[in-house]
Amino acid sequence: MSILVDKNTRLLVQGITGREGTFHTEQMIAYGTNVVSGVTPGKGGQWFEGDQKKIPIFNTVKKAVEITEANATVIFVPARFAVDAIYEAADSGLELIVCLTEHIPVLDMIKARAYLDTKKSRLIGPNCPGLLTPGEAKVGIIPGSIGRPGHVGLVSRSGTLTYEVMYALTERGIGQSTCVGIGGDPINGTNFIDVLQLFEDDPNTEQVILIGEIGGNAEEQAAAYIARHMSKPVTAFVAGQTAPPGRRMGHAGAIVEGKSGTAESKVQALREAGVKVADNPDKIVDLIAA
């Protein structure tokens, strides 16, 4: 088993005819993901003619879902259109929405998150690399070649560190159940606790890696959840431990206010919850293998 995506995922690509959508659709198909349809308004009735598969293009998500029975979507749409793409996907009843788009205004995401809370759809992202269940399905931009099927679940706010840790695990012969990039924006659709709960309930996941970073209090909240509800071992790393105080770092999700959101406070909370915390990313695999 796995979480969120597997061989039964029937994927729709919103923005399939754009440069990024075209390139990554080819990559997802090559990995073995069952991409069944695409959506680009004004191009309905045309075909996405890839190297390996022809995919019908529709003007609307609703029509694509009706015809192809898609149950998940990945959004490759510019920021000014991305929230409308999320609304359209949710209104069409899709179970999983993965939005990779960066630079969506926070106020727009607050409204979108409130709307999604009234629907049955789960959003991963925005500003995330997507997710990968090795050997089954790739939804997003995580390189499929660095994954290996196994029993370690990974959830991360950082795309780059997701890739680094996955590669290190695979090099050591340690496979992954599912790797989930939740994104680093302050308002997202799925948080650490959501994914930790899914891994806790997944019989194929035996232990979990959590990769956090400075800013916000998501890691502290995750630590409280782990202490109360997780029976599986959790190993963590928090990026930004050497960030100079008082300096703006990275994206909006990495804003530190006073003592809240610092790497030190997150590491302390995780260790108090019984989590093994690595001092640098290279040490994560050593802690997992120990």
Q: What amino acid positions are annotated as catalytic residues?
A: 251
The alpha-helical segments, DSSP class H, found in the chain are 19-31, 61-68, 79-91, 106-116, 159-171, 192-201, 218-229, 263-272, 284-289
Q: What span, in angstroms and rounded, lies between the C-alpha atoms of 7 and 137?
A: 6
Q: Do residues 20 and 124 lie in contact, with contact meaning Cβ atoms separated by under 8 Å?
A: no
Q: What span, in angstroms and rounded, lies between the C-alpha atoms of 59 and 143?
A: 29
Please give the domain boundaries of the chain with CATH numbers for all domains. 10-124 (3.40.50.720), 142-289 (3.40.50.261)
**pLDDT-based confidence at 263, cuts 50/70/90?**
confident
* Burial (CB count <10 Å: 0-12, 13-18, 19+), residue 54: exposed
pLDDT digits (tens, 9 = 90+) for 31-40: 999 999 999 9
pLDDT digits (tens, 9 = 90+) for 76-121: 999 999 999 999 999 999 999 999 999 999 999 999 999 999 999 9
16-25, 107-116, 260-269: segment of lowest average pLDDT: 260-269
